[in-house]
Amino acid sequence: MNLNIVWLRDDFRLDDQPAVVVAGDRPALYVYVHDQSPRNGRPLGGAANWRLHHSLNAMERRLARHGARLDVLAGRADEMILAIAKAAAAHRVLWTRRYEGGAIGLDAAVKRALYERGVEGKCFNGRLIREPWEFDRGHLPRSFFAFWRRHQTAWDMPTPQSFPARLPSAPWPEKAPERAPIEALRLTPTKPDWSGELALGETPGEGGGLAALRRFCEEGLSGYTGDRDLTSGETTSRLSAHLRFGEVSAIRAARAVEGAAAKKPRLKRDAQKFLSELGWRDFAALLLYAHPDLATRPLRNQFEHFPYRQDEAGFRAWTRGETGYPIVDAGMRQLWRTGFMHNRVRLVAASFLIKHLLIDWRRGEEWFWDTLCDADPASNPMNWQWVAGAGADAAPFFRIFNPVLQAEKFDPDGAYVRRWVPELARLEAPHVHSPWRAPEDALVRAGVDLGKTYPRPIVDHAAARARALAAFKEIRDNP
């Protein structure tokens, strides 16, 4: 029997899933191996583990509806896959490619070992529109503008692939490693269970991802270019976690948006903006592929010597949403409770940590890695380096967001702040964004007692800005 093993990792879908399509309607084993060691890629943080649990459950149900079975194991991924392939006398092992240094090495070793045993190991692009090696390794674009221009020049969008209606599973081999129920992986928190609001407004799994994509094309795409930075309402696609766990393919998302714009030409500009956001994911993967230490080492060497401060009190206030700057605090509380933060607020919160508090961007990156449901090994560090001014095509370090002005521009009526900082719910705009400037009678009416019910700012914006610019001048003048 020409038996296939479909090795699932961050690609929990059937639609436009190359490994599933190639396996076809012949009996196969659909296998997930839980290996949280660095050799198998960066171990997930707490929120992403919770998201993985629900994505696995959704994939299990999805496969069952089409006659197949999800087989879950725990242990060394390479050893498990090789053992299963031997026990099943497999013909092929099929999987989606990854772009992390360690994971690339592990996958290459598995492919070599399979070949030596007469088994074909075949991998596919199941995550990106264009893969890193489609660019000349000696001439990698250093800016997103250059990357996106080359990306579009070679724009040849594949057609999403459909999967067979029937996906039969092969019997589990007698001598294969022992399987485990998803619950045995202990991916969800218990004591205490802090997951009550995680993924608020989302439905994990392929079904939820495809529904979110349809909803975005029908309701959210119009005005996306101008509205995506507004914090109130559904102004973003909310596809980030679905894309991160492969519940929707980037190609399917791009094709759907292109199709919506083809039907309504007025959506063309919004569609192009969304496609560039998918391109940003590809750019992040390119940088990770070229720089495996993206999460720990700045791409601009001068930032190795940046005079960051050890400010534990400041870092703790930032993580708890107690900085005294409402837009920052709202974002950090939304993150802790839901595992998601609005993209514009991510920029403001990250800028505050790095430039107002002069705390190393790597500490913020690690916090987001642990608390974001959509934490991606390429996008998360690239975005933090971008804000810090330390990465490719980064925002200049001297561009320092004023949290109050950002809030007034992107949360003009204060709805976002009031939603996540209930202590300020009765404070009128514009005071809700800078309560320390509010008249005393306004604070009394709102029941706000600064320093007691809500903190005063832990740092003055003007002083923090001057300090940050002086620190940047120090590394600029002493490269």
| 2-37 per-position pLDDT tens digit | 899 999 999 999 999 999 999 999 999 999 999 999
Check whether residue 321 and residue 279 sit in a common domain.
Answer: no
The more confidently predicted of residues 277 and 201 is 277
Does any domain span residue 400?
Answer: yes
CATH number of the domain bearing residue 89? 3.40.50.620
Instruction: Check whether residue 90 and residue 8 sit in a common domain.
Output: yes
Query: Which residues are registered as beta bridge partners of 122?
Result: 94
Is the pLDDT at 478 greater than 70? The verdict is yes
On the 0-12 / 13-18 / 19+ scale of CB atoms within 10 A, 304 is: exposed
Parent domain of 269? 127-158+206-290
- Kindly provide the b/e burial profile for residues 452-461, where b requires at least 16 CB atoms within 10 angstroms of the residue's own CB: eebbebbbeb
Based on the domain organization, do 118 and 154 belong to the same domain? no
Lowest-pLDDT range of 84-93, 138-147, 364-373: 138-147
Residue 307 and residue 282 share a domain = no
Specify if 199 maps to a domain: no
At 223-269, the pLDDT tens digits run 999 999 999 877 789 999 999 999 999 999 999 999 999 999 999 99
Cα–Cα dist 60/5, whole Å: 16
Bridge partners, residue 169, by sequence? 28
Number of domains in the chain: 3
The answer to whether residue 296 sits within a structural domain is no
Name the domain boundary from 126, 143, 166: 126
Judge if 384 and 453 occupy the same domain.
Answer: yes
Q: Which of 384, 383, 408, 386 is nearest to 395 (CA)?
A: 386
Contact 25, 50 (CB under 8 A): no
Q: Which residue has the tokens 């490269």?
A: 479
Q: pLDDT tens digits, residue range 103-128? A: 999 999 999 999 999 999 999 999 99
The 10s digit of each residue's pLDDT in 85-103 is 999 999 999 999 999 988 9
Residues 30 and 153 placed together within one structural domain of the fold: no
Q: Is residue 73 part of a domain?
A: yes
191 falls within a domain: no
pLDDT of residue 284: 96
Contact in structure between 363 and 315 (CB atoms under 8 Å): yes
Q: Which residue, 104, 126, 148, sits at the end of a domain?
A: 126
The answer on 337 and 278 residing in a single domain is no
* Integer Cα distance of 115 and 138 in angstroms: 30
pLDDT tens digits for range 377-416: 999 999 999 999 998 876 788 889 999 999 999 999 999 9
Query: Residue 72: in which H helix or E strand, if any?
Result: strand 70-74
The pLDDT assigned to 398 comes to 84
Question: Over 80: is that where the pLDDT of 288 sits?
Answer: yes
Are 392 and 444 within one domain?
yes
Same domain, 252 and 396: no
Indicate if 332 and 453 belong to the same structural domain. Answer: yes
Q: Which CATH number is 141's domain given?
A: 1.25.40.80
Q: 176 in a domain, yes or no?
A: no
Residue 1 has pLDDT above 80, yes or no: no
**Which of 262, 290, 318 represents a domain boundary (last residue)?**
290
Backbone φ and ψ of 121, nearest 5°? -105, 120
Q: What is the pLDDT of residue 313?
A: 98
pLDDT at 146 over 90: no
Same domain, yes or no: 154 and 119: no
Q: What DSSP line would sit under 141-164, residue for residue?
A: -SSHHHHHHHHHHT--PPPPPP--
Q: What percent of the chain has pLDDT over 90?
A: 86
Amino acid 137: pLDDT: 64
443 shares a domain with 368? yes
DSSP category for residue 169: B
With contact defined as beta carbons under 8 Å apart, do 400 and 468 qualify? yes
Residue 344 has pLDDT above 90, yes or no: yes
| Partners of residue 95 on adjacent β-strands | 7, 123
Contact 247, 205 (CB under 8 A): yes
- What CATH number is attached to the domain comprising 458? 1.10.579.10
